[in-house]
Amino acid sequence: MNSPKTLSILCAVVAAFVVGCGGRSDQPDLGLVTGLVTVDGAPAESLLVTFIPENGRPSTGVTNAQGQYELEYIGDSKGAKLGHHLVRITTLDIGEPNRPTRELISSKYNAQSELTAEVKAEDNKIDFAL
Distance CA 73, CA 40 (A): 29
Q: pLDDT tens-digit profile of 70-81? A: 999 998 899 999
CA distance 89 to 115: 9
pLDDT of residue 44: 95
Query: What class does CATH assign to 32-94+101-129?
Result: mainly beta
Q: What is the pLDDT of residue 24?
A: 43
Report d(CA 11, CA 5) in Å as an integer: 10
Lowest mean pLDDT across 26-35, 56-65, 78-87, 97-106:
97-106
Position 126 pLDDT exceeds 70: yes
pLDDT of residue 75: 85
- Alpha-carbon span 16 to 10, nearest angstrom: 10
Q: Return the domain boundaries, the chain.
A: 32-94+101-129
pLDDT at 9 > cutoff 50: no
Question: Cβ distance 105 to 89 under 8 Å?
Answer: yes
Q: Is residue 25 predicted with pLDDT exceeding 80?
A: no
